[in-house]
Structure 1
């Protein structure tokens, strides 16, 4: 990096718009969406999609609900041309979907593009030419007048060729490429010149696409550019203002959202932001951002995992694990405090009201709305807490651990994560639970237990146990089966233990379902410890819980 003072770069210019209106507006309707995955996204791939892959992605885009889809640059290659012809020959374009084709303002390319549209019911013909000072000087060596004339000549040829497709409804679109780095007045001149040729009306609008081809400035400046343009274009009621943002500064989503506030009507972008350099606008993010604000985007991402699978397979690109909404880890919490808050949020959500206001901490959207399940929401590593472990035990295995027991098991699982240096799977969490509470049979294990009620206040119990490897029979009395067993183990040297808490529940429905008990004991030293027992007999489950707690206290 250059040391100060920095002469290699210069700050972007701000727009003189003191009465800007966009900061006080809100997005209250979905824009017109146009997917450019098959063109802008495709040209950014190391290995471009073949015809079959493009067909599959086209069908996916249609299923999502896109009504405008840029299918390619048919004059650029035989593959691009063949793909469009395949859509026509196989009748793959629904009546309510408009395909879009892109072409530079060059005569032979425009003529070839019109050849590709034979048999298409409705198409957007999108012409463009570069207008910014850098490309005028470095690439074209042309003056403003020469650049404007390129746009005019391209527009004239398109207008001339429209009647050659009498059975095709043609919508016209023009882009001053690199609008983001073009003088606003000159962008306006070029667009006005094209409008003069095409003569749009309120009933037959044309599209003016204003590309943030290279994202050079902060989103608020982009919004100022869009608002300035919307105010100054002479045929505002006859044009659709379209956004096409890239992500060079990492703020493509923000630039698009502020551009909509500034008056734009339409958005071009791609699934998961695939595109040149750092990518195009991620339409998934903008659409679902709207959804989380109670505004339906008119696109269906309820099967986002399936959409992602198609995208990754045909583009050979990976969706980053932290990519908003679509990434593997965006609905996953490892942090203990996050897990605890999420668990409590799920508890307070009504189970029987799918339309209830979504209020779960750290989660802006219900994963189920995107076709994702809750299984991976909480995952355990050494940073996780008691709430996450308790959540997994409940959701995956049906164990409703007492709140005071969460901390105990959490420490056990965290210690295992520290030992392995790895994430602990739900199966691993359950193994930790069983090893710590269920499989602890030394020094005491119960083989059989029978009890008899002597009177309404007294139970007599008899147990066959192994103690330090030796089988013994012990007896005791109490006001219930558990108290009688606690009394009986005094003969083995376990005296003065106090039963602090007891709870139990069924693990499944049916006659052969198992029950689990949770027992908390307090030793004469004041130490406390939980135990857990599982059995098809609830009384035996309770006794196993006492034995578990005793063994854990002795072995501590």
Structure 2
């Protein structure tokens, strides 16, 4: 074995025989706080400029965030300048509260309040690390030492706020590395901060429980949150917030279970940008709620603009398989998936409601809700089948096919995909359809016809483009033409498949006929589009016969 798993210490399990959160269901969205402009920004190779931050701030407002962490103004001049710009240029809507982060150090807290001068409302978010690892190895202190830092910071925050009564202040405290802190220690420190701020007397207080590093399974995190809420002073007067990271790939799951455990608020970033593997993805969690019929209170109906903005300001590409946002997340290449999607979409009613809910195989939500098109759902490669090919023809060109032709044409497309080794787009599929079925064999183009009907017998006189005249009688138009071709060639033709369809406005024709003809061991298949069903049927028979006879 190339690595030694014995050097890692498992995270202690919270023993909770009476845990309640597994029985809970999320029925409403938590309070959201977007931390893209602070936590997301500090994780970038190239931090955002003030202009880029402004663009992202406006997007967050448009999406519907009411609490936005806009920076760490005591840590850098660009952050300070950005906060001042928002306030001085009155860019903060009346229903939006900005949040800023600071360490629990007096000089940083003072600088933080200087940046917030003139704000109508603000959340001052103070933190210090409480984990055993950082206590012992970074700060060289004990539990009493980290609690003293937290309490001193809390008092300093309150003292500065009292000097600016024109602003409506909310105080927020985070025991950084909560997931690496023994629960009794976390509760002791948090309760000391709560006592300093006295939320029971009206001061708005948020206690944020951050998985600064994700070190356990989501259920252990939920147990920890539930335990903290049970041991928190003045719980009914405190907003409990979560801030999960994605080191184990479970940031969203941990936040969802934490809300089930009783948390009120969730911090995260759009598309999960953040330190190491990233922050909890607000898009994913919000749309997870949406897929369960819960109003997320955030609007991602124009997902393209969200992706474009985030990519532009972070210079990080969105993965094509990113949940809800990726280019390919609603795309099916598998033939069986494509067939199921096409059939379900054909059955789906437009009046989607509680009585008639969205119910489409492989699509947990309607792509249109995110500004996506059904045309993007099914894409064709060598793994695709007849259902996918038919879906493209139906959605893009208004053309449907009988089953026998679906099977035949899907083989044509698959062979083309195998030769090319990649995706076959809609225009290529249409070109293959034209080439193999619609194109008229030389000498077999219909130029004109006369039909005489007597009882059930049709007498047909068919003129081809080169002047050849075919005459015959039969049961129906197709039978008469087959008889005429047989008389002309002396060969026996058998019609094995014949289907007619009315077409929509986007095909340039009103009718389509599909014909499969056998002459001995030779098969001819053809499709004809025309202004009327008779002309379409006659041309399809002529083309199919021409292919069968020349094969």
When normalised by structure 2's length, the TM-score is: 0.96
CA distance in structure 2 between the partners assigned to 1:520 and 1:135 by the alignment: 77
- Greater alpha carbon shift after TM alignment, 478-487 vs 422-431: 478-487
Change in CA separation of 1:552 and 1:224 when aligned onto 2, cut-off 3 Å: farther
CA distance in structure 2 between the partners assigned to 1:170 and 1:338 by the alignment: 53
Equivalent pair of 2:509/2:529 in contact (CA under 8 Å): no
Partner of 1:268: 267
Change in CA separation of 1:185 and 1:552 when aligned onto 2, cut-off 3 Å: farther
Partner of 1:541: 536
Partner of 2:321: 322
Partner of 2:219: 220
* Residues 447-486 of structure 1 aligned to structure 2 (within 5 Å): 447-465=446-464, 472-486=468-482
State the SS of the aligned residue for 2:365.
coil
- Give deviations 1:181-224, integer Å, cap 9, x for gaps: 11111111111111111111274431110100000111111111
Partner of 2:381: 381
Change in CA separation of 1:241 and 1:512 when aligned onto 2, cut-off 3 Å: closer
Deviation of the 1:180 alpha carbon: 0.5
Match of 2:514 among 515, 518, 535: 518
Partner of 1:507: 503
CA distance in structure 2 between the partners assigned to 1:217 and 1:512 by the alignment: 61
- Give deviations 1:245-285, integer Å, cap 9, x for gaps: 00000011111111111111110000000100000000111
- Greater alpha carbon shift after TM alignment, 455-464 vs 503-512: 503-512
Partner of 1:409: 409
Change in CA separation of 1:202 and 1:348 when aligned onto 2, cut-off 3 Å: farther
Partner of 1:496: 492
CA distance in structure 2 between the partners assigned to 1:230 and 1:554 by the alignment: 82
Equivalent pair of 1:202/1:237 in contact (CA under 8 Å): no
- Give deviations 1:440-498, integer Å, cap 9, x for gaps: 515x51241312315233322223337xxx86322112233322211111134363323
Q: Aligned-pair RMSD on alpha carbons?
A: 2.0
Change in CA separation of 1:358 and 1:490 when aligned onto 2, cut-off 3 Å: same
Deviation of the 1:134 alpha carbon: 1.3
Change in CA separation of 1:492 and 1:10 when aligned onto 2, cut-off 3 Å: farther
- Greater alpha carbon shift after TM alignment, 453-462 vs 178-187: 453-462
Partner of 2:100: 101
CA distance in structure 1 between the partners assigned to 2:313 and 2:488 by the alignment: 69
Change in CA separation of 1:160 and 1:202 when aligned onto 2, cut-off 3 Å: closer
- Give deviations 1:148-200, integer Å, cap 9, x for gaps: 11111111111110122121000000000000111111111111111111111
CA distance in structure 2 between the partners assigned to 1:354 and 1:239 by the alignment: 37
When normalised by structure 1's length, the TM-score is: 0.95
5+ unaligned residues in a row in structure 2: which ranges?
Answer: none
CA distance in structure 1 between the partners assigned to 2:120 and 2:54 by the alignment: 18
Give the number of equivalent residue pairs.
550
CA distance in structure 2 between the partners assigned to 1:478 and 1:455 by the alignment: 11
